[in-house]
Structure 1
Amino acid sequence: MTHKVLIVTTVSGFLWQFEKNTVEILKSQNAEIHYASNFENPAYAFDQKYFEENRIQIHPISIQKSPYRLKDNFSAWKSLMEIIEKEEIDTLHCHTPVGAVLGRLAARFSKRQVKVIYTAHGFHFYKGAGLKNWLLYYQAERFLARYTDILVTINREDEKRARGFSLKDSGWVMKIPGVGVDRDKFRVRFEKRQEARAALGVKGEELCLLTAALLDKEKNYQTVLHALAQIKDMAFRYYICGEGPYRKALEEQTASLGLKEKVVFLGFRRDLDFLLQGVDIFLFPSLREGLGMAALEAMACGVPVVGADNRGTREYIRHGENGLLCQPRNAGDFAAAIRILAQNPSLRNKMAVRARKDSWRFGAEESRLYMEQVYRIAWKGEDHPGYKSKNQRNHEPLQSPAFPLAESSGGFRFESEF
């Protein structure tokens, strides 16, 4: 049987950026791949040729990131039902909150029997989230779980929450190590260090700091900029890789804090694997992360991470061992952490070695093993040798060593800890 799979996301660049592993799995099974998304607002850069080379049939729909764009999203829902019926889709794999809502509703109300997989790249309801998130996203997810065959999560907090939902009678909850780091691409290349620093414009012994993320408010760049304003006496350069709606505000904040000579906006970059070779510390201040692949890619390149303490970073940052965790909105925490690592090169080097090692279990190969099993279970159901009854089913499909949860920062006294 040739499976016909429809992948649904809110923004078209998502598949190219994060789901190449899934495409390779589907190709290996000779599946027919369809992709529905909003191609007018890609958010992430992507290569149009990728879809042609991998024979992915694209379906532009009017889906919007905001759940309040009711007219556009209603139209997208109807389009998805039409695609499912016209293309005889038997498996739907949805991503992103609105994509997951519309995709599951389309599968439910179409005239076909469709297996539904939802990969939650970080629920919008989490410890510390606002009341609106719990009233809207939590209630929607709890309701739509009944139309879900497999719910895939990428961190412990979300996995635990998902186990409390009532999925389809044959439903599974699984946790995977994210979309996976390309270890052939993101690795330590000592011979490239000076070349990368020269390309960035780092002078002499300046400390090289870098963040790679979408430029929006949730990525919390503003806290890092305030932190850097507290250590202006130090010799450093901070590079921001990414684009987004918050760029102008960040540029204005940089100027108002007197950091224009120390902060450089590089825009979206395709050569992060090269640039990371010249970086001393990767700053990752996001208020919310499902996991945080950018930080894991930095770790794979042997760069210690100073990150905000959240459910995603706690999956891989071990405070004091491979990086440092800070209170998300505490600029003083970030300033102290940067200064500690700047003044202790030996500690920084030890963290770099450990960071690289600790990133290994988040490799693309590991992620692929998990996703292959997701599809095997989706397509074989109770005939699969790993099938268990419903009350046995909330488990990880593959076992791997799990690092202990990092302690919550709680406001660090860095000077006394190191």
Structure 2
Amino acid sequence: MDGVVKKKVLFCATVDYHFKAFHLPYLKWFKEQGWEVHVAAQGDLTLPFVDKRFNIPIQRSPLHKMNIKAYKDLKKIINENHYSIIHCHTPMGGVLSRLVARDARKKGTKVIYTAHGFHFCKGAPLINWLLYYPIEKFLASLTDCLITINQEDYLLAKNHRFKAKSIKHVHGVGVNTEIFKPLNESQKHSVRESLGYKPNDFLMFYAAEFNKNKNQRLLIEALVQIKYEVPNAKLLLAGEGLLLEDCKDLARKLNVDDMVQFLGFRNDIENLLKISDIAVASSLREGLPVNIMEAMACGLPTIANNNRGHRELVQNDQNGWLINNQSAEFAHRIKKLAYDSDLKKQLGIKGRKKILSNFSIQNVLDEKSEIYRGYMNEMEDILWVVH
């Protein structure tokens, strides 16, 4: 095969589930362009559209000693495969792959990094700025294209003069609007019944890991204030995590445990969204939350804590409301939607329209493919000779 151009792309992240959850359409796109697709991450999931996968022990903690081995493994992979493009994701996946790819860039490899929400941002703790800001600013100088998924991060990178060769804003990872779409009333009642819910239940849905940032306690506290005015309200909380038992204890302590359902890990999120009345989101920080985009695609109005990711998606009185981390505010907006079905429907329609306009998989694929094609054109003059 001497003299044959080997068009290879490497996708790198901390864990391989990241690719399964968010990037299969983009792996498929590269295959359709005739490229060889490799992925490197921790895990051994079977992934479609992938020619080679490498299980490397990347750890989320920057100080974990296994990251030294991950660095060495990744260096060997990149040196041996001569990638034309490396697209890295997640904090540690982005750190290691950009450090390793320094020599490859000198030979023409293009390095793309998607920041799925900087840890430093408006309102973030000072420690986040002290730790993460200098790291990301330095690594930007090792990046050909820095992709941000919300406008605030884009402006931050621009205004703070991050030295990536190019800084782009892309509308997240995209939502499959054929899977996440509203049901008509007859279908909704049928699916509700199959899942054990009544037609007149007022269902509020939130899918997130139970941790301090996701802040489910706020939603549970809001239930106390609607208990007697919206007696048919049920808060559906999907997910697992370290604070799950604490939240269960809080619900019992506040005597609203009959209004909360802790669903654990679910693989039928689309059905739970389709039968729900509204989406709620209490997280303190977000980059661009997929759970809210999926809810909006299903025609649900959203009540969400005010942060940069939610601000990108939710506009007051248009498709929901932003709340300033106050349970009373959540309760007030919940009651408004519980008693105004026309408003609930109008907000939901506008939310789905917003997703279709900017955040669908096809729209994001168009945005990303434009970036990829720019580098592909540059690669036409680069010949990798494989012995």
TM-score between the two structures when normalised by the length of structure 1: 0.84
Q: Partner amino acid for 2:170? A: I
The aligned residue for residue 337 of structure 1 is 333
Q: How much is the aligned-residue C-alpha RMSD, in angstroms?
A: 2.0
The aligned residue for residue 174 of structure 1 is 168
Q: Partner amino acid for 1:211? A: Y
**How is 1:40-79 mapped onto 2 (pairs within 5 angstroms)?**
48-49=45-46, 51=47, 53-69=48-64, 71-79=65-73
2:374 to 369, 374, 377: 377
Cα pair 2:218 2:282 within 8 Å, conserved: yes
1:12-47, Cα deviation, whole Å (9 max, x unpaired)? 21000011122122111222211111228xxxxxxx
The aligned residue for residue 265 of structure 2 is 268
Taking structure 1 as reference, are residues 123 and 166 closer, same or farther at Cα in structure 2, changes over 3 Å only? Answer: closer
The aligned residue for residue 119 of structure 1 is 114
Cα pair 1:84 1:112 within 8 Å, conserved: no
Taking structure 1 as reference, are residues 382 and 157 closer, same or farther at Cα in structure 2, changes over 3 Å only? Answer: farther
Query: Using the alignment, how far apart are the partners of 2:6 and 2:332 within structure 1?
Result: 56
**How is 1:311-330 mapped onto 2 (pairs within 5 angstroms)?**
311-327=308-324, 329-330=325-326
The aligned residue for residue 75 of structure 2 is 81
SS in 1 for 2:37: strand
- Which consecutive residues of structure 1, in runs of 5 or more, have no partner in the other structure? 41-47, 385-418
Percent identical pairs in the alignment equals 37
The aligned residue for residue 16 of structure 2 is 12
Query: Using the alignment, how far apart are the partners of 2:275 and 2:113 within structure 1?
Result: 37
Q: Does 1:203 align with 2:198?
A: yes
The aligned residue for residue 34 of structure 1 is 38
The aligned residue for residue 104 of structure 1 is 98
Query: Using the alignment, how far apart are the partners of 1:83 and 1:341 within structure 2?
Result: 53
Taking structure 1 as reference, are residues 55 and 331 closer, same or farther at Cα in structure 2, changes over 3 Å only? Answer: same
Taking structure 1 as reference, are residues 316 and 55 closer, same or farther at Cα in structure 2, changes over 3 Å only? Answer: closer
The aligned residue for residue 242 of structure 1 is 239
- Which consecutive residues of structure 2, in runs of 5 or more, have no partner in the other structure? 382-387
Query: Using the alignment, how far apart are the partners of 1:37 and 1:374 within structure 2?
Result: 23
Cα pair 2:84 2:379 within 8 Å, conserved: no
Query: Using the alignment, how far apart are the partners of 1:303 and 1:268 within structure 2?
Result: 21
SS in 2 for 1:181: coil
TM-score between the two structures when normalised by the length of structure 2: 0.91
Cα pair 2:149 2:287 within 8 Å, conserved: yes
Taking structure 1 as reference, are residues 88 and 150 closer, same or farther at Cα in structure 2, changes over 3 Å only? Answer: same
Cα pair 1:196 1:276 within 8 Å, conserved: no
Cα pair 1:149 1:167 within 8 Å, conserved: no
Shift in Å, 1:356? 1.6
Shift in Å, 1:382? 10
Shift in Å, 1:89? 2.4
Cα pair 2:192 2:199 within 8 Å, conserved: no
SS in 1 for 2:146: strand
1:217-271, Cα deviation, whole Å (9 max, x unpaired)? 2111111111112222122111112223332222222222222211112222222
SS in 2 for 1:205: coil
The aligned residue for residue 363 of structure 2 is 366
SS in 2 for 1:10: strand
Query: Using the alignment, how far apart are the partners of 1:246 and 1:2 within structure 2?
Result: 48
Query: Using the alignment, how far apart are the partners of 1:367 and 1:116 within structure 2?
Result: 19
1:157 to 143, 152, 159: 152
**How is 1:127-138 mapped onto 2 (pairs within 5 angstroms)?**
127-138=122-133
Query: Using the alignment, how far apart are the partners of 2:225 and 2:237 within structure 1?
Result: 18
Q: Partner amino acid for 1:3? A: K
Cα pair 1:150 1:378 within 8 Å, conserved: no
SS in 2 for 1:312: helix
1:274-328, Cα deviation, whole Å (9 max, x unpaired)? 222211111111111111111111111111011111111111211012111101x
1:371-396, Cα deviation, whole Å (9 max, x unpaired)? 10111122334999xxxxxxxxxxxx
Q: Does 1:24 align with 2:18?
A: no
1:192 to 172, 187, 192: 187
SS in 2 for 1:226: helix
Shift in Å, 1:367? 0.2
Cα pair 1:149 1:378 within 8 Å, conserved: no
1:254 to 251, 254, 258: 251
